[in-house]
Amino acid sequence: MREEDEPELNPDDFSEVDMKELLQSLPADLRDTVHKRYWLGLTSRQITEPLGLSDATIRCRLRTAIHLLRNQINE
């Protein structure tokens, strides 16, 4: 999966309280990755450097996190 194929998440679609509650439902590693990507605007490569992970791992975490968040929203 290429970086441009990452799932989209628009934090502006939710209130700050709702988004914080949704993010708290994620495991810590996924929550941290989503925060860095969508709130801090880091690329997957920028996220991987300090963690020593591959770009693919970060993109997989993002895909998993978005899937879990969508399931939470649709419940």
What is the predicted pLDDT for the residue at 54?
Answer: 92
Sketch the domain layout of the chain as residue ranges. Answer: 28-75
| Spatial separation of the C-alpha atoms in residues 52 and 75, rounded to whole Å | 35
Per-residue confidence (pLDDT) for residue 4, from 0 to 100: 53
* CA 29 – CA 58 distance, rounded (Å): 10
Single-letter amino acid, residue 57: T
Ordered per-residue pLDDT tens for the chain, 75 residues: 455 555 566 655 666 667 778 889 899 999 999 999 988 999 988 999 998 999 899 999 999 998 998 888 777
- pLDDT the model gives residue 27: 95
pLDDT score at 3: 54
